[in-house]
Every structure is written in structure tokens, then in C-alpha cells.
Amino acid sequence: MEREQQELYEYARKRIKQKKTLYYHFVFFLIGSLFMFVANELLEFGMPNVWYPWAITVWFFLLILHFIKVYITDRFMNKNWEREQIDRLVKRQERKLEQLQTKINEQVSNK
């Protein structure tokens, strides 16, 4: 029971760290977007080109990917999912080995 508690604690700690990093990314995105707007429009950095919407769009896309990873992908593909997949593959391999063994036994008995 103690090991299960430890695994639950580690999983919760990992999820909290992921969410915390995502929130930092979001805040940094807001501040960075504001900075890019000010630099391009008010300080005329990089003029005559208006580049900040493109940079903000690319960064927003990366933020969306980060969000998907934290709240969708990692939520479903956790340790339990990995264990289930491993167990399923091991059972499939065992069935194949049993079939091969049965086939070998039949061939030996026919000789």
C-alpha cells in the first residue's frame, strides 16, 4: 500500500509541476506579446515591417501545443496507460509463444 501511495504522490507532484510550467508559459506569453507590440508599434523596432502579429501567432500556437500536452495527452497517457499497454503486449506475446509451443509439440508427436 505504501508503494501505491508513493506512486500517487509522485504522479500528483508531476502533474502540478506540468500545470505550473504551463501557467508560467502563459504569463510569459502575455508579457512577451505586450513587449513585442510595444517594440514594433511604439518604439518602431523593425519598421517598416509589422512583425509582431506573426511572432505572437507562432508563440500562441506553441502555447496551444503545450496546453494539449498537459491537459489532454499526459492526462490519458500516464503510468496506468503504460502498464496496461505493456500487459496487453506481454499477454499477446505469451499467446504467440503458446501457439508456437503447441505447434512444435504437434510436429514432434507426429514424427
The tens place of each residue's pLDDT in the chain, 111 residues long, gives: 688 888 888 888 988 999 999 999 999 999 999 999 999 888 888 778 889 999 999 999 999 999 999 988 887 777 777 888 888 999 999 999 999 898 888 888 876
> Same domain for 71 and 45?
yes
Which residues, in sequence order, are CB contacts of 26 under 8 Å at separation 6+? 63
Which residues, in sequence order, are CB contacts of 12 under 8 Å at separation 6+? none
pLDDT at 107: 83
pLDDT at 111: 67
> Same domain for 57 and 30?
yes
Task: Map residue 43 onto helix, strand or coil.
Answer: coil
> Same domain for 53 and 83?
no
pLDDT at 45: 81
Give the structural domain span for 82.
78-111
> Same domain for 82 and 70?
no
> What does each C-alpha distance from 69 to 74, 88, 92, 103 come to in angstroms?
6, 24, 29, 45
